[in-house]
Amino acid sequence: MEQRAPRRAPAPLPSLPPRLALPALLALLLAPALRASGPALWPQPLSVKLSPSALHLAPERFLISHGPGSTAGPACSILEEAFRRYYEFIFGFYKWHHGLADIRTGTELKQLLVTVVLDSECHVFPSISSDESYYLVVNGSVAVLKANRVWGALRGLETFSQLIYQDSYGTFTINESNIIDSPRFPHRGILIDTARHYLPVKTILKTLDAMAFNKLNVLHWHIVDDQSFPFQSVTFPELSNKGSYLVSHVYTQHDIHMVTQYARLRGIRVIPEFDTPGHTQSWGKGQKDLLTPCYNGQKKLLGTFGPINPVPDTTYDFLSKFFGEISKVFPDQFIHLGGDEVEFECWASNPEIRNFMMQKGFGTDFKKLQSFYVQKLLEIISTTNKSSVVWQEVFDNGGKLQPGTVIEVWKNENYPEELQHATQAGFPVILAAPWYLDWISYGQDWRKYYQVEPLDFPGTDEQKKLIIGGEACLWGEYVDATNLTPRLWPRASAVGERLWSHRDVKDIYDAYDRLRRHRCRMVRRGIAAEPLFTGYCEHDNKMQQ
């Protein structure tokens, strides 16, 4: 019988050698008192130099504006919107402390000048190759943020906002500083699942806000599955008419445009996943003859269907039209095609499929049949000028994949060996296996996510360059709009730092202090992030109103 943890059982701290345990424990427990003020940067930038010299800011006099010679100007909606947004993030608390935020004697920081050096890319969507590097100097009355592209300027604005804190007098304060920063991996993702439970658009937008606070840049949208088909196709409207939970539980193409544009303004890509040939029971409700009829001996089982039927030409005619539509609705270069957990029993029971396999020389190896299907689907995707992401089974089953197909590794057993094999074959890889956030446990499980090292696998330097990043996955069997945000944050923040910061940034005690305060900052910004452990946020009473 399952046993619950004792109600007051404390979450254990990381184990330490006995002679170090007491000092480290005291340091951790005293951290809130010792570091009550000052910046808490998350994720940790590549290079940070902070001076004890403090500057002060007056909300009514402080400006964020375009720097001289910037290729981005007032017509750059990404930056204009970001200037407004970050001013609110920095000073939105001002009304709660009105009368306490008077400028003390000393230098006043009056302006942040933001300069985009190269072609700004203000009017395009971010991509896997987007430059997110930036350089930030806070010195005297004017701070300077420089970036090659607008995407780096967005990341720099987040860092600048994190540098500002309120001192014991309530004055907005920032230390003189010099920061050089760029991400370690280009793909830093969150997976959400809108098939097991429908997530309102406003919940998805709130997730994008939180991602930007953590410098995560890919929303992997697992939009449909066996349980429901909430994507509203114009070409095949019956897919959602019959496959969604409710007629109201759908994402119109206007909704998707809203999400992708909202994401673009935050430097976030949206990669849709339409998983086939398995996980497709909801597809069959609105598309006749798409799924495989299952048999018991020679008798067809009425109403029982398996994965997509890979034999008839009508299957590929449908897929060609459907993914042609998807390629126009979602602007990103990549489409995730799934390919995981295909159950072969129904295929094996179907006489048409068995005959087809004999003709093709597949024998009884249904992995070859899946590879046949995937190869044809990849060819369809290539005609749309898109690239493909697949789950690791597609690679494991020995299918012929097109160069550049991205393999997502999700099986937690011996995933370093999987990374080795996939990169040895020359494919780019996304790591998800150690970051399945739907597996919850009592205690501070953020630490195990934080302590993962994506490049700890046998392989050459060239192989390790093929690890393009990772994803924190939150599958939706037990998640809807009521608990998505607290279950994601700040646990996903640990993954965010691991994928952004240098691999040497791994001090769990320093991370605890910074993440504790970063979590409070997220809550202050409207993200209902759960606590790391016992304690409080300085403005708990205001955040709960």
Q: pLDDT tens for residues 282-333?
A: 999 999 999 999 999 888 888 899 999 999 999 999 999 999 999 999 999 9
Q: What per-residue confidence (pLDDT) applies to 38?
A: 76
Nearest-angstrom CA–CA distance, 102 and 88: 18
Amino acid making up residue 179: I
**DSSP, res 50:** E
Residue 399 has pLDDT above 90, yes or no: no
Output the CA angle 414-366-308, nearest 5 degrees: 100
To the nearest 5 percent, what fractions of the chain are helix, strand and coil?
Answer: 35, 20, 45
Q: What per-residue confidence (pLDDT) applies to 510?
A: 97
What's the average model confidence in pLDDT over 458-474?
97
CB 291 within 8 A of CB 266: no
Q: What per-residue confidence (pLDDT) applies to 227?
A: 98
3 state SS of 143 = strand
Which of 20-24, 84-88, 207-211 is least confident?
Answer: 20-24
**DSSP, res 533:** S
CB 495 within 8 A of CB 454: no
Residue 11 has pLDDT above 90, yes or no: no
Token output for 373: 């299907």
Alpha helices (H) in 247-331, listed in sequence order: 253-264, 281-286, 313-329
Q: How many Cβ atoms are within 10 Å of 247's Cβ, its own excluded?
A: 9
User: Residue 26's pLDDT band (boundaries 50, 70, 90)?
Assistant: very low
Which of 9-23, 76-90, 119-133, 486-500 is least confident?
Answer: 9-23
Q: Are strands 165-166 and 134-139 parallel, antiparallel or unpaired?
A: unpaired
Token output for 307: 């994965």
Q: How many Cβ atoms are within 10 Å of 510's Cβ, its own excluded?
A: 15
Q: What per-residue confidence (pLDDT) applies to 298?
A: 82
Q: What per-residue confidence (pLDDT) applies to 540?
A: 65
Q: pLDDT tens for residues 357-373?
A: 999 999 999 999 999 99
Token output for 305: 């269907």
What's the average model confidence in pLDDT over 63-88?
96
The fraction of the chain above a pLDDT of 70, given in percent, is 90
Nearest-angstrom CA–CA distance, 464 and 450: 19
Nearest-angstrom CA–CA distance, 289 and 292: 7
What's the average model confidence in pLDDT over 402-408?
96
Task: Provide the annotated active-site residues.
Answer: 341
Q: Residue 191 contacts by C-beta under 8 Å, 6 or more apart in sequence?
A: 220, 222, 432, 471, 472, 473, 474, 475
Token output for 362: 């597949």
Residue 95 has pLDDT above 60, yes or no: no
3 state SS of 477 = coil
Token output for 308: 């997509």
3 state SS of 408 = strand
Q: pLDDT tens for residues 153-165?
A: 999 999 999 999 9
What's the average model confidence in pLDDT over 435-445?
95
Q: How many Cβ atoms are within 10 Å of 458's Cβ, its own excluded?
A: 10
Q: What per-residue confidence (pLDDT) applies to 35?
A: 44
CB 336 within 8 A of CB 220: yes
User: Residue 25's pLDDT band (boundaries 50, 70, 90)?
Assistant: very low
Q: What per-residue confidence (pLDDT) applies to 94?
A: 56
- Count how many Cα atoms sit within 13 Å of the Cα of residue 318 in the half-sphere of its side chain: 22
Q: What per-residue confidence (pLDDT) applies to 102?
A: 54
Residue 133 has pLDDT above 80, yes or no: yes
The fraction of the chain above a pLDDT of 90, given in percent, is 86
Residue 137 has pLDDT above 80, yes or no: yes
Q: What per-residue confidence (pLDDT) applies to 31?
A: 40
Rounded alpha-carbon distances, angstroms, from residue 6 to 3, 111, 350, 396: 9, 52, 52, 42
Q: What per-residue confidence (pLDDT) applies to 87?
A: 97
CB 505 within 8 A of CB 496: no
Token output for 403: 């160069």
Residue 238 has pLDDT above 90, yes or no: yes
291, β-bridge pairs:
308
Q: What per-residue confidence (pLDDT) applies to 169?
A: 85
Which of 28-32, 38-42, 234-238 is least confident?
Answer: 28-32
Q: pLDDT tens for residues 475-500?
A: 999 999 999 999 999 999 999 999 99
Residue 99 has pLDDT above 90, yes or no: no
CB 335 within 8 A of CB 271: yes
